[in-house]
Chain A
Amino acid sequence: MSVKYTPVQWNTNKYIYDAVMLVGVALFLYVFLYAAPGILSHERPIDPQVHNARAFGACAFVMLTVILCIGPLARLDKRFLPLLYNRRHFGVMTVFVALTHASYILNWYFAFSSSDKFEALLFANTSYSQLAGFPFEVFGIFALLVLVILSATSHDFWMKFLTPPVWKRIHYLIYPAYLSVVAHVSLGILQDQQNHAFTVIFIGGAVAVGVLHLMAALHERRADAAISAETAEWIDICDVSEMSDGFAKIRLLPAGDRVAVYLNNGTLSAISNACAHQNGPLGEGRIIDCLVTCPWHGFQYDVTSGQSPAPFTEKVPTYNLRLEGTRVQVDPAANPPGTYVEPVPVPDHAAQEAPA
């Protein structure tokens, strides 16, 4: 929520989220850095710089893999939505872990020469014309640059300033970045590694990300097919008897936007399905204290006007609607954000006469 911007709008759940995330990350690093060396029975130990680089690199991969699983999991099963709530802190933490990995590598493999280490990183291996022995470092550099861009633009200010769709498009860069990380590992350490526990964990993580995204995409396509509407002057939404109080029906309109029609205390109102904050699906939320509440971050709107309650200033477009017999119908032309639309009362008999 806006009002005045602050660095982080803390609340109890964010503290819990960050604490659990940090405990997990700290445990991973602690075990890798301090417990594993005692178990390894090498004649001479791995250099601490390489051991550290591997710990942070592996940690960043695992973190990114978990982060990317949260999105499709939440689309497949709403119970995972709380994991989405403060995911940006998880992402920012991943950047710091990945930067630590990069700096250990840079200050070890690319140091000690007469050249600048950043230049050395770019020119030491130039086997770009072959896959085996390819300078896999460039994939890591690309992924790191993307992670830096995403974390640097994660504050709510950026969503409002860039608009959620533009912000979202920038943040789609996470997918090429993840592919790049997979390539970084596949053409790098996977080529050397003899212990197959590593291979299994790496492939398992990456495949989980791929499969979950495929499942979520297919799920969403089926859902979209079920809610998409034909072009018409008034778009038929549903029979009023199918609606339950405090909840919405979503329709995908011919122009590509989505409308959420809410039944609120026996009256019907229609607003855009896209939350002003991050374009979260308002129609998948519910009405709490007479306000539509977004399932992603809890932004709230008056269902009749699409306006956030004072002192908040967010607004979403509204839609005109009517009741034809027992059919709920919406005018597909949206009203400007914050336009009040008189709610349509549902007569008792309309709800009762309708087929079950």
Chain B
Amino acid sequence: MNEAEAILMGLRIWAMIGAAVAAVFLTIGMDRIDEDAQGAYVFRPLLIPGVMVIWPLVLWRWYVWETGREAWGRRYDPPRKAHFAVGMILPAGIALIILTGLALRQTWPADVAPVQLLPAQEVSQ
């Protein structure tokens, strides 16, 4: 198996586990932890892709809900300070990447002529 096959196999396994988690979570788990989901079924297929991509987080959150370990204060503590980091890193990163791209750009060297370094030595048949 080459690296490309291994990566794709990994993704397939991830998605298959995710599908299994989605099957259990969307049929059993949801009703246990969220009263707003009880009796609501039409929206559930929308959640399948989400469970498939972040299923480890789904399992962890499900565990936290079931065990009641959640500290309520955490729900009201948005990471607003990160806005400032983003405000610095994003423009710097954009500038750096674009300048790198522009620096790498090549111009077709139309003025470079072919040079014969050594003359022909033989004619083969």
Contacts and interface: CB of A to CB of B under 8 A. Distances in A.
Interface string B66-100: 00001011111111101110111111111101101
B2 interface: yes
Tell me what chain A mostly uses at the interface: helix, strand, loop, or mixed.
Answer: helix
Interface stretch (A174-182, A239-247, A297-305, A345-353): A174-182
Nearest to B49: A152
Contact of B84 (A149, A165, A217): A217
Contacts of B7: 122
Interface string B30-50: 000111111110110011011
A62 to B, nearest CB: 15
Given A122-B8, A190-B102, A216 B57 contact: no
A163 interface: yes
A7 B72 contact: no
B14 to A, nearest CB: 11
A234 B42 CA distance: 48
Given A5-B40, A153-B50, A206-B94, A216 B87 contact: yes
A257 B54 contact: no
A118 B9 CA distance: 11
A153 to B, nearest CB: 5
Given A149-B54, A165-B79, A183-B97, A221 B43 contact: no
Given A6-B40, A316-B76, A172 B90 contact: no
B101 A187 contact: yes
A334 interface: yes
B4 to A, nearest CB: 4
B77 A165 contact: yes
Contact of B90 (A158, A210, A220, A274): A210
Contacts of A19: none
A103 interface: no
A118 B4 CA distance: 8
Given A179-B97, A317-B72, A187 B104 contact: yes
Contacts of A191: 101, 104-106
B78 A203 contact: no
A9 B97 CA distance: 40
A231 to B, nearest CB: 17
A107 interface: no
Interface in A193-226: 203, 206-207, 209-211, 213-218, 220-221
A337 interface: yes
Chain B CB within 10 A, most for which of A131, A158, A221: A158
Nearest to A163: B75
A79 interface: no
A165 B49 contact: no
A182 B92 CA distance: 12
B76 A313 contact: no
B86 A179 contact: no
B15 to A, nearest CB: 11
A3 B36 contact: yes
Contacts of B97: 179, 182-183, 186
B44 to A, nearest CB: 8
A168 B75 CA distance: 11
A343 interface: no
A21 B76 CA distance: 31
A187 B3 CA distance: 23
Nearest to A162: B61
Nearest to A272: B76
Contact of B61 (A5, A161, A279): A161
Contacts of A3: 36
A270 B65 CA distance: 28
Interface string A301-345: 000000000000100110000000000000000101100000000
Given A164-B75, A217-B86, A257-B77, 12 more contacts: A3-B36, A121-B4, A160-B34, A165-B77, A178-B90, A186-B101, A187-B100, A216-B87, A218-B87, A274-B76, A279-B76, A317-B76
Interface of B: 2-5, 7-8, 33-40, 42-43, 46-47, 49-50, 52-54, 57-58, 61, 65, 70, 72-80, 82-84, 86-95, 97-98, 100-102, 104-106
14 contacts: A3-B36, A123-B2, A149-B50, A155-B43, A157-B36, A157-B47, A168-B79, A175-B90, A186-B102, A191-B101, A220-B80, A276-B75, A317-B76, A337-B76
